A and B are shown apart, each in its own frame.
Chain A
Amino acid sequence: MNDKNKIIAGLIIFGVIITFPLWYNMGKASPVPEPELTTTAKAAKQCVRETEYMTAEHMQLLDVWRDSVVRYGKRIYVNSSGKEFDMSLSNTCLDCHSNKAEFCDRCHTYASVDPYCWDCHIDNPKEKE
């Protein structure tokens, strides 16, 4: 027997599946997101720590903060240059970065990351919907 037609049909289906990313994105412009800094954030020049560290490790830092506050009651964070910060997502981070949609969400959405910070911490009340 000779099932060449069936095999070719199967190969075509396979080819369509593996090239899915190539034709799914066709004709869609997807610019790289740029997180937007508020004027307060720009004026502060530096975050809690240097920018490279914050970009890569901010989730780690927030996790350490959460443990420190919730489990040990320690609320003061001292960075390498001796500056003190209140360990608080809502009051410290979101005070400068009050624009969650333009600052946090842009990269998170682009990279398909869904942090569970926002399960409890609602958007900064200062931000107008």
Chain B
Amino acid sequence: MNVNYIFSLIVVVVLFLLAYVGVEAAGLQVFFGVIIPYLALVIFIVGFFYRVMGWARSTVPFRIPTTCGQQESLPWIKQNKIDNPSTLLHVLVRMALEVLLFRSLFRNSRMELKNSRLSYKLEIWLWLFSLAFHYSFLVVLVRHLRFFLEPVPFIIKQIEVVDGFFRIEFVSEVLTVGLPGIYISGLVLLAAVTFLFLRRIFIPQVRYISLAADYFPLFLIMGIAITGIMMRYFTKVDVVGVKELTLGLATFHPTIPEGVGGLFYVHLFFVSTLFAYFPFSKLMHLGGVFLSPTRNLANNNRAVRHINPWNYPVPVHTYEEYEDEFREKMVGVGLPVEKE
């Protein structure tokens, strides 16, 4: 038992009950189906822009890239262009590898004592599961555009086809699984987020540094995935009605269709919560990964002169001016001067 994750779990359960009871018992469809989603989108956009502009305002006086390779030097010394970039192109490669493949996480290693000798091991699972998590989340997000676009673009349909590549079907009298076709991304997302959660529970060092703010998004995303999977494969939902609502939101003609159950509103409320919570949380690494000054700057401090942006003009008295002022006296006492 850990107060941090119990707290986060309780918050998510309360959110679930709020939306479910609010819709099923109190009939607050308009509140949870229209007002909350719009509010969440506004908070997300304004908050995201505000946070990023806050980072943009804080000027970086000097280039501070973290490097782990040979710097650009003499022509016969081989430079490590990705780990110690010196041009914009190198930086772009470095950033692309970081943003798309989480390269720094891949380089994560684990230190342990083996037969009383220190050894370093490749620690691949966190990288693997976070890669699976982020990409399946992206696919799930893009796939959901079918609810917000009419007509559905060809590319979205193709993503659905690829996502539904595995035709897993189980048919019996009591339970039929696999129709509508299984989307692998949803299951991978749930599996990966579960791994990320269990990692925080079972590894003592990680549990020690985990806070409620670490567990909350995990539970929330778990809730989103579970409600989505429930609606698609088990309890079923009127998809045409759902699209009527979501398309209404996207076209600013919100409507509340009949016959869409409470579970859908829970799903929508969870997603809205995630969007509204986004700018205030660690989830801002979506923007932050592009703006980390230790990674997005070329290491060319020696090659290029960087002038501190907040330097103000300082009155100086150069040696030339000094000599002009005192030349006669200097010559008089026999001091050497540059200009006779």
| Interface, chain A (partner B; CB < 8 A) | 1-4, 7-8, 10-11, 14-15, 18-22, 24-26, 28, 30, 32-33, 55-57, 59-60, 62-64, 67, 107, 109-114
Distance A14 CA – B44 CA, assembled complex (angstroms): 12
Contacts of B309 in A (CB 8 A): 1-2
* B238 at interface by CB-CB < 8 Å: yes
Q: Decide: A111 and B240 in contact? CB cutoff 8 A.
A: yes
Q: With contacts A1-B59, A28-B251, A111-B239 known, what are 13 further pairs, Cβ within 8 A?
A: A7-B56, A11-B49, A11-B52, A15-B45, A21-B145, A32-B244, A33-B240, A56-B238, A57-B236, A60-B176, A60-B179, A112-B146, A112-B157
Q: Which residues of B contact A62 (CB under 8 A)?
A: 179
Q: Is there contact, CB below 8 Å, between A3 and B251?
A: no
| Residues of B with C-beta under 8 A to A3 | 56
Query: Does B290 touch A at the CB level, under 8 Å?
Result: yes
Cα A64 to Cα B171 with chains together (Å)? 6
Min CB distance A69 to B, Å, is 12
Known: A25-B149, A113-B239. A67 touches B171 (CB 8 A): yes
Given known pairs A11-B49, A15-B45, the reply for A32 and B179 (CB within 8 Å) is no
On chain B, the residues within 8 Å of A67 by CB distance are 171
B152 at the interface (CB under 8 A from A): yes
Among residues of A, the one whose C-beta sits closest to the C-beta of B61 is A1
Report the minimal beta-carbon distance from A14 to chain B, rounded to whole angstroms: 8
Residues of A within 8 A of B49 (CB): 11, 15
Interface residues of B, count at CB 8 A: 48
A32 and B176 alpha carbons, distance in the complex (Å): 29
Kindly state whether residue B306 has any CB partner on chain A within 8 Å.
yes
- Enumerate B279-308 residues with CB–CB distance to A below 8 Å: 287, 290-291, 297, 306
Residue of B nearest to A60 (CB): B176
Within 8 A of A (CB), among B10-61: 44-45, 48-49, 52-53, 55-57, 59-60
B255 to chain A, nearest CB (A): 9
B243 at the interface (CB under 8 A from A): yes
The complex places the Cα of A112 from the Cα of B297 at a distance, in Å, of 44
In the complex, the answer to whether B238 meets A55 with C-beta atoms within 8 Å is yes
Shortest beta-carbon distance, B10 to chain A, in Å?
31
**Contact A24 B52, beta carbon cutoff 8 Å:** no
7 closest Cβ pairs, A-B complex: A21-B148, A30-B150, A112-B146, A112-B152, A56-B236, A7-B56, A21-B250
Please, could you name 26 A-B residue pairs with CB atoms under 8 Å apart, sorted by A?
A1-B59, A1-B309, A2-B60, A8-B53, A10-B290, A20-B145, A22-B250, A22-B252, A28-B150, A30-B247, A30-B251, A32-B243, A32-B257, A56-B237, A59-B179, A60-B176, A62-B179, A63-B169, A63-B178, A64-B173, A64-B176, A109-B151, A110-B240, A110-B243, A112-B146, A112-B157
Which residue of chain B has its CB nearest to the CB of A6? B56
B63 contacts chain A at the CB level, 8 A cutoff: yes
A1–B60 CB distance below 8 A: yes
List chain B residues, Cβ under 8 A from A55: 238
Q: Which of B59, B149, B179, B290 contacts A24 (CB 8 A)?
A: B149
Which residues of chain B are near A22, meaning CB under 8 Å?
Answer: 250, 252
A60 CB to nearest B CB, Å: 5
Q: Within 8 Å CB of B250, what residues of A?
A: 21-22, 24-25
